[in-house]
Amino acid sequence: MATSSDRRTAILRAAERLFEHYGHAKTTIAEVAREARIGVGTVYLEFESKEAIVEELSLSTHAGVLDAMRAASTLEGDHAARLAAVLRARTRSFLELRKKGQHACDLVHCKTEGVRVVHERFREREHALLAELVEEGRDAGAFAACTPASIAALVQRAFTSLSPPWIFGSDDDAMRASDELCQLLLHGLLAAKRPRALVAAPRRRKPRRTR
């Protein structure tokens, strides 16, 4: 006999397949029930509404992106390499999501209340992860003296263009843009920590002689 956990999993998997190809707006609870091979009433036993299903799927999708970023943050390498790996993992995760279907990315950017709330929570946790990496690099002397929270916010804003629905082009183009943007950001963090003595001071112009 199927347990509540089994039913929830079946409903979520069925809804995910339908949402990815048709979008949640055009998918009904009846269609989810039919895809899951259960009754409509059974769906409502597990989820109070279609919006609740959308929110649950959005939560797991965002969690997958964050898990990939956290896993990349534990890789061996210097602080700059770890931050770059995290941002590559972020871009790659969104590209993998895009491959799942025409509407797969709706779970991370559409304007329904459930997705909006989950996305805000994701942004907070992503910000905390990025700030932690920047702070570790700063404290180790690898990055310039900076405010980690501010740098993390700037990184998030810069990488918005590599998030759904704005991410476009081929996978190679997107990953190349991700790498180039990351290098630009790291150049600022790394270059700013150079001692002033290494930066040539501007020469003063000699005053013109007056006759």
Q: Who's near 64: CB < 8 A, 6+ residues apart?
A: 93
Q: What's the pLDDT score for residue 208? A: 53
pLDDT of residue 200: 37
pLDDT, tens only, 65-122: 999 999 999 998 899 999 999 999 999 999 999 999 889 999 999 878 989 999 999 9
At 162, list the tokens. Answer: 């590599």
On whether residue 60 sits in a domain, the answer given is yes
The secondary structure element, H or E, covering residue 62 is: helix 50-73
Residue 29 lies in a domain: yes
Domain total in the chain: 2
Say which CATH number the domain at 8 has.
Answer: 1.10.10.60
pTM of the prediction? 0.85
pLDDT band with cut points at 50, 70 and 90 for residue 210: low
Omega before 165 within 30 of 0, i.e. cis: yes
Q: Are residues 61 and 92 in the same domain?
A: yes
114 and 182 co-located in one domain: yes
Same domain for 15 and 90, yes or no, is: no
Q: How far apart are CA 196 and CA 77, in angstroms?
A: 27
C-alpha distances (whole Å) from 96 to each of 28, 68, 138 are 26, 12, 32
CATH of the domain at 89: 1.10.357.10
Domain hosting residue 164, numbered range = 54-192
What integer pLDDT is reported at residue 193 of this predicted model?
59
The three-class DSSP label of residue 173 is: helix
pLDDT at 133: 97
Query: Residue 202 falls within a domain, yes or no?
Result: no
Whole-number pLDDT of residue 205:
46
pLDDT band at 194 (very low <50, low <70, confident <90, very high): low
Claim to verify: residue 29 and residue 62 sit in the same structural domain: no
C-beta separation of 185 from 158 below 8 A = yes
The confidence score (pLDDT) of residue 201 equals 38
**Together in a domain, 146 and 173:** yes
* Mean of pLDDT over the chain: 89
